[in-house]
Structure 1
Amino acid sequence: MIILFFFVGHWFLSLFFQTFFQHRYASHRMFTTSPFWERTFYLMAYIFQGSSFLSPRAYALMHRAHHAYSDTAKDPHSPHFFRDVFQLMKATVITFRHYLKRTQQPEKKFEGYYPEWPILDRLGSSIPSRLLFGAIYTCFYLVFAQYWWLFLLLPIHFLMGPLHGAIVNWCGHKYGYQNYDNHDKSKNTTPVGFLMLGELFQNNHHRYPNSANFGSKWFEIDPVYPVMKAMHWLGVIKLRKKH
């Protein structure tokens, strides 16, 4: 039971900071916050994403290109140009690494307005850091796993970030329904959308990319939005006004 709690906790905490910090803040600037809280969220993203920490700058650059060229040949991760999800993951990782190592120059319009912490980016993206987190996960399983089959969950811990991205990018542009004609293939995928903390309301998000609430209809619940509203009321963040 402890292992399952650990797995679910890691899944949702890693996913929360991916959608809250790398996606909604770094990529879209859906809210503003103080330098103290920005660094706090940065550090928490590193801790909870662990072995699959994602550089906010690299994430933002790739994600902005995805919005600008959604489901076209210039989209860095449209599922309609890959024969399976594994090829999509491979291509996404390669593009992400180019932005991370700055071996590929982004278009000027995608640059700027994202948080940067060079020391933590280098640390979080380093092999020793990823191996250390992997060792921590493994040791936790060695101590608490009561059945051999629980160890089958370990690879998911190691690759949590890429797996989240693959689910959203593949399912969110292939399966589900559309509320809006966005001139792309973005879909809303439910009820899986709730398990992905609103990230699978892709059709809504592509229609209103700067809206902090990914839900649109009454039954489309984005569980991260109420958390952001609470942070706004507490003065931790300041949500952008709706236009």
Structure 2
Amino acid sequence: MSVAEPRRKTLSSPYIHKLQRRHFLLFDVAPIVGTVAAVAFLWVHPFGWTEFALLAGMWLLTGLGITVGYHRLFTHRTFSTTPGVQAVLGSMAGQGPVISWVALHRRHHEFSDREGDPHSPNLSGGGMRGLLRGLVHSHFLWMRRHEYPNVVHYAPDLLRNRVLVRVTRHYHWWVALGLAVPALVGGLVELSWQGAVAGLLWGGFVRIFVLEHIVWAINSFLHRFGTRPYESRENSRNGGVFALLTLGEAWHNNHHAFPESPSFGLDWYRLDPGFWLIKALSAAGMAWNLKTPSAERRASRRVRPAGARS
């Protein structure tokens, strides 16, 4: 009787790398071009309250789609709810289809800051040269070409969910919707083609650009700089000063220490808008099974000062 080969954890082929390059150009490079175009368009249409509302509103909606939907719900199952809207809003962020994003992030946790981590800043050598190479790689360049995590291995639970599979298949349409909505709103509010173009640029391309770099900075800078209150096997750090801007994701060491927790701040006074939304959904009966760590478990993972007795 033949022995079945173990399931491959990653896939690599010229076709996959071609798709990765195309996604990199469309959804990582194009927002940079769109942001430059938005600045240039100021000569035609000045930045006003409509553009600010579209930028802030679309950033908040899609950002919550990433942190609450893609990350805390689908990747780590930190709470339960009816899936659907979260996956759509996360898809509109342009950071990849939900099932692929989850597979990548689960692999990151499995190999964090070790060989196999898709975006560690700590594997590019020592010294200033290694530091800069690692930061550039983990922040941006890793997306051009990398081993693709096998979704059958890393996300079999999501593959069994028909809603998430359908959302994943229509990923490009959701990104397009995230561009069309602010363009339509801008045009209707200002009743002009200039308003529509400004809405597309600021609520669409600039919003994607801003949110992407916020999320990427968690992968890069918060695996090099910040505080480390909890023991964890990798180099994750907290950057609490950026807590609001990242919707709570900046409590990155807390998250790596307790990945099952829907609260990344862990304490009420640590700002965590993503958890605020989850708590609001829970209070309304729309979220359940929240798994916050006990005080005893947190105390057991605390980093102790050198020389302290265990």
Question: TM class, shorter-chain normalised?
Answer: 0.7 to 0.9
Amino acid at match of 1:210: E
Percent identity among equivalent residues? Answer: 23
Determine if the alignment matches structure 1 residue 183 to structure 2 residue 230: no
Determine if the alignment matches structure 1 residue 54 to structure 2 residue 96: yes
TM-score, with structure 2 as normaliser: 0.62
Give the alignment of 1:1-243 within 5 angstroms: 1-33=49-81, 37-46=82-91, 49=92, 52=94, 54-81=96-123, 83=133, 85-88=135-138, 89-92=140-143, 94-95=145-146, 99=148, 105=150, 108=153, 110-114=154-158, 115=161, 117-125=164-172, 130=175, 133-134=178-179, 137=182, 140=186, 142-143=194-195, 155-159=205-209, 162-217=212-267, 219-242=269-292
Distance change in 2, residues 1:81/1:92 (3 Å): farther
- State the alpha-carbon separation in 1 of the partners of residues 145 and 170 from structure 2: 19
The answer to whether the 8 A contact 2:238-2:251 is kept is yes
Count of aligned residue pairs for this structure pair: 225
The answer to whether the 8 A contact 1:172-1:201 is kept is no
Larger deviation, residues 135-144 vs 14-23? 135-144
Distance change in 2, residues 1:70/1:84 (3 Å): closer
Distance change in 2, residues 1:171/1:219 (3 Å): farther
- State the alpha-carbon separation in 1 of the partners of residues 180 and 283 from structure 2: 39
- State the alpha-carbon separation in 1 of the partners of residues 282 and 177 from structure 2: 35
Unaligned stretches of 5+ residues in structure 1: none
Distance change in 2, residues 1:131/1:15 (3 Å): closer
- State the alpha-carbon separation in 1 of the partners of residues 90 and 234 from structure 2: 30
The answer to whether the 8 A contact 1:214-1:222 is kept is yes
Q: Which protein shows a greater Rg?
A: 2
Matched residue of 1:235: which SS?
coil
Unaligned stretches of 5+ residues in structure 2: 1-48, 125-132, 188-193, 294-310
- State the alpha-carbon separation in 2 of the partners of residues 160 and 177 from structure 1: 24
The answer to whether the 8 A contact 1:7-1:157 is kept is yes
Deviation at 1:112, TM superposition (A): 2.2
Distance change in 2, residues 1:238/1:61 (3 Å): same
The answer to whether the 8 A contact 2:95-2:101 is kept is no
- State the alpha-carbon separation in 2 of the partners of residues 156 and 84 from structure 1: 26
- State the alpha-carbon separation in 2 of the partners of residues 135 and 233 from structure 1: 33
Matched residue of 1:42: which SS?
helix
Amino acid at match of 1:39: G
The answer to whether the 8 A contact 1:204-1:214 is kept is yes
Matched residue of 2:80: which SS?
strand
- State the alpha-carbon separation in 1 of the partners of residues 281 and 232 from structure 2: 31
Distance change in 2, residues 1:144/1:84 (3 Å): farther
Matched residue of 2:243: which SS?
helix
